[in-house]
Amino acid sequence: MLKQIDREELRRKLAGNARPVLVEALPEKYWRDWHLPGARHLPHDEVDRLAPGVLPDKAAEIVVYCASRSCRNSHVAALRLAQLGYENVAVYPGGKEDWMEAGFPVDRGEVLAA
């Protein structure tokens, strides 16, 4: 079973010194529109190909999210990361919808590095 993290716990961790690595598991157009502060882009259907570059440290704390509680992309990506040997992976099931409802800050309009 995948570990889950709620909005308040995630907010506290992001405000601390040992920040988890945030990963958005949605298609690129949604990540480009807006994402949680500092989130990396890792589409759920490209984890095998992109994870080594996006997440080089398999021991890092990683939190994966997607659009909302009904979206399963984060669960798919987190499970695959765990299967690939990532040791500390959690899902933020509320995702972007939950984060935005709380009025928390977001990053908008970033361009992916080539």
- State the pLDDT at residue 109: 74
Please give the residue range of the domain that contains residue 34.
3-102
Residue 112 lies in a domain: no
- Tens-digit pLDDT profile for residues 43-98: 999 999 999 999 999 999 999 999 999 999 999 999 999 999 999 999 999 999 99
Place of tokens 């990361």: 81
Q: Is there a domain that residue 42 lies in?
A: yes
Kindly calculate the radius of gyration of the chain based on its CA atoms and give it in whole angstroms.
13
Taking each helix axis from N to C end, the angle separating 73-83 and 47-54, rounded to the nearest 10 degrees, works out to 70
Q: Within the chain, how many helices (H) and strands (E) appear?
A: 5, 7
Contact 55, 84 (CB under 8 A): no
In a domain, 113, yes or no: no
Q: Structure pTM?
A: 0.93
As a whole number, mean pLDDT of residues 7-18 equals 94
Of 90, 80, 95, nearest in space to 47 by CA = 80
Indicate if the pLDDT at residue 114 is higher than 50.
no
**76, two tokens:** 């798919």
What's the CA gap between 22 and 14, in Å, rounded? Answer: 9
| Amino acid found at 22 | L
Number of domains present in the structure of the chain:
1
Give a yes or no: residue 68 inside a domain: yes
Per-residue model confidence as pLDDT tens digits over 30-54 = 999 999 999 999 999 999 999 999 9
